[in-house]
C-alpha cells in the first residue's frame, strides 16, 4: 500500500501549518508575554491543521486533555479520511520568543498510525549525535565522561574539539561539570532542545553532541527529524513519582528503565516540518516588512531522506490571515 506521505501536496500543506503558527507567534517576539505568544501559535496551527485532507489524531501536543484547551493529546484534526498521527509544538521556545532570543521554532510531524511514542509530558534524558556517527552504540546510563570518551574514539575528534550542547538549567550543574572535566567545549542554550538535537546532524551548526534532560514531547519531535536526517538519539523517561509512571503505563510504556532510541520514538514513514520564529542554527526567523511576512522553513521525509528548505513571502492583507496577526 502506498503511504499517504507519497502525496507531495501534503508536504506543502504541512509547511503552511508551521508557517502560519510561526508568523502569528512572531508578532509577540520580545514583548515578554509567553502565554500570548504560545496561544497565538496554537490558534493559528489548529485552524490550519483542520484544513488538511487527513483524519489526524494528536499524539504529541500541548498537553493532556485536562491541561490543554486546544491541540491536546487525543484531539482529532483534519477533514479527510486517511488516518495519521500528529506530533506538534506550535511554539518550541516560548521563553525565547517572549525575550527575543534565538532558535524558536514552530514544529509539526506527521506519521502513519502508531508512528510516534505515546508518553506523558514528563522529563526525558537525552543523548543525540549526528548522521556521521549513527552506527555508534552508547549506554545512556554511563557517566558523561565515558560517553564523551567513546564518542571521541569513534568520531576521531579530539576532546577539546568536541562541542556539547546542553540546556542551561540548574539540574545540569553536575553534567556541565563532568563534560568540562573532559576538555570538551559546551554550548549552553536557554531553551529549544528540538533545534539543538537537530543541530547535531547539521554540519554547519558546530554541535557534535546533545546531552541533558528536557521534555519528552520534544524528544519525540526531535527523533522524527533525525529519522529524516539520519542522526541518532537515546532517551529514557524520568519518573518523579509513581503517578507519572502510571500515566506512562496507560500510554503503553510498561518498563520504567526502558531506553528509547530513534526508531522507538518515531518509526515508519514520517514527515517533519519546521518554520523559524526567531533566528537560529537551523532556520532564519520571521521577517515582517510593511504588509508582508517572510518565512524560512524546512520539510523532510524519512522514507527518502529528502530535505527541502522553503523561503516564502506572505501577504498579511489576505483576509483569512488577518485574525492571527495581532
* Percentage, residues of the chain above pLDDT 90: 77
Grid coordinates representing 123?
Answer: 522529563
CATH of 123-265, one of 3.40.50.720, 1.10.10.10, 3.30.70.890, 3.40.190.90: 3.40.190.90
Q: Give the model's pLDDT for residue 156.
A: 97
Long-range CB pairs of 309-312 (<8 Å, 24+ gap) are 310/15, 312/15, 312/19
Tens-digit pLDDT profile for residues 95-143: 999 999 999 999 999 999 999 998 888 899 999 999 999 899 999 999 9
Q: Give the model's pLDDT for residue 6.
A: 44
* Percentage, residues of the chain above pLDDT 70: 94
- Rounding to the nearest 10 degrees, give the CA dihedral for residues 314, 315, 321, 325: 90
What average pLDDT does the segment 193-210 reach?
Answer: 94
Residue 318 has pLDDT above 90, yes or no: no
Long-range CB pairs of 143-150 (<8 Å, 24+ gap) are 143/178, 144/175, 144/178, 144/179, 144/182, 144/211, 145/178, 145/181, 145/182, 147/209, 147/211, 148/179, 148/182, 148/184, 148/209, 149/182
Q: Give the model's pLDDT for residue 298.
A: 97
What average pLDDT does the segment 81-108 reach?
Answer: 95
Tens-digit pLDDT profile for residues 15-46: 999 999 999 999 999 999 999 999 999 999 99
Does domain 4-114+270-322 correspond to CATH entry 1.10.3720.10? no
Which of 127, 162, 123 minimizes the C-alpha distance to 142? 127
CA distances (Å), 28 to each of 55, 189, 247, 264, in order? 31, 21, 34, 36
> Which range, 203-207, 244-248, 320-324, is most confident?
203-207
What average pLDDT does the segment 174-187 reach?
Answer: 98
Residue 319 has pLDDT above 70, yes or no: no
Residue 5 has pLDDT above 90, yes or no: no
Which regions of the chain carry the CATH code 3.40.190.90?
123-265
Q: Give the model's pLDDT for residue 281.
A: 87
Residue 13 has pLDDT above 60, yes or no: yes
22 close to 277: Cβ distance less than 8 angstroms: yes
Residue 249 has pLDDT above 60, yes or no: yes
CA–CA separation, 89 and 69 (whole Å): 14
CA–CA separation, 95 and 38 (whole Å): 9
Of residues 220 and 281, the one with the higher pLDDT is 220
Which regions of the chain carry the CATH code 3.30.540.10?
4-114+270-322
141 close to 45: Cβ distance less than 8 angstroms: no
Residue 1 has pLDDT above 50, yes or no: no
Grid coordinates representing 127?
Answer: 543523548
DSSP bridge pairs for 60: 87
**Letter string b/e over residues 228-253, b meaning 16 or more CB atoms within 10 A of that residue's CB:** bbebbbbbbbebeeeebbebbeeeeb
In a 10 Å sphere around its CB, with 0-12 CB exposed, 13-18 middle and 19+ buried, how is residue 279 labelled? middle
What average pLDDT does the segment 169-180 reach?
Answer: 97
Task: Tell me the average pLDDT of the chain.
Answer: 92
Amino acid at each position: 500500500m502506498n503511504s499517504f506521505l507519497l502525496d507531495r501536496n501534503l508536504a506543502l500543506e504541512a509547511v503552511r501549518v508551521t508557517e502560519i503558527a510561526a508568523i502569528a507567534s512572531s508578532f509577540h517576539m520580545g514583548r515578554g508575554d509567553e502565554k500570548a505568544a504560545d496561544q497565538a501559535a496554537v490558534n493559528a496551527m489548529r485552524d490550519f491543521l483542520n484544513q488538511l485532507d487527513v483524519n489526524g489524531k494528536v499524539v504529541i501536543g500541548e498537553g493532556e486533555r485536562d491541561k490543554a484547551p486546544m491541540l491536546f493529546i487525543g484531539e482529532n484534526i483534519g477533514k479527510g479520511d486517511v488516518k495519521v498521527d500528529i506530533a506538534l509544538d506550535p511554539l518550541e521556545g516560548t521563553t525565547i520568543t517572549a525575550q527575543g532570543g534565538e532558535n524558536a521554532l514552530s514544529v509539526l510531524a506527521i506519521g502513519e498510525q502508531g508512528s510516534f511514542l505515546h508518553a506523558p509530558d514528563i522529563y526525558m534524558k537525552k543523548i543525540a549525535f549526528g548522521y556521521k556517527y549513527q552506527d555508534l552504540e552508547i549506554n545512556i546510563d554511563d557517566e558523561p565522561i565515558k560517553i564523551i570518551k567513546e564518542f571521541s574514539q569513534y568520531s576521531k575528534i579530539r576532546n577539546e574539539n568536541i562541542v556539547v550542547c546542553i540546556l542551561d538549567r540548574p539540574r545540569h550543574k553536575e553534567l556541565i561539570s563532568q563534560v568540562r572535566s573532559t576538555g570538551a567545549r559546551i554550548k549552553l542554550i536557554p531553551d529549544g532542545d528540538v533545534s539543538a538535537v537537530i543541530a547535531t546532524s547539521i554540519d554547519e551548526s558546530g554541535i557534535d553532541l546533545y546531552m541533558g534532560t528536557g521534555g519528552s514531547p520534544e524528544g519525540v519531535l526531535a527523533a522524527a527529524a533525525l529519522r529524516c536526517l539520519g542522526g541518532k538519539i537515546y532517551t529514557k523517561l524520568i519518573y518523579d513519582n509513581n503517578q507519572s509512571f502510571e500515566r506512562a503505563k496507560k500510554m503503553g510504556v510498561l518498563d520504567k528503565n526502558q531506553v528509547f532510541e530513534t526508531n522507538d520514538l518515531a518509526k515508519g514513514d514520517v514527515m517533519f516540518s519546521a518554520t523559524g520564529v526567531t533566528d537560529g542554527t537551523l532556520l532564519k526567523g520571521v521577517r515582517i516588512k510593511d504588509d508582508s511576512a517572510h518565512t524560512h522553513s524546512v520539510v523532510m521525509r524519512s522514507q527518502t531522506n529528502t530535505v527541502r528548505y522553503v523561503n516564502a513571502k506572505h501577504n498579511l492583507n489576505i483576509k483569512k490571515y488577518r485574525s492571527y496577526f495581532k
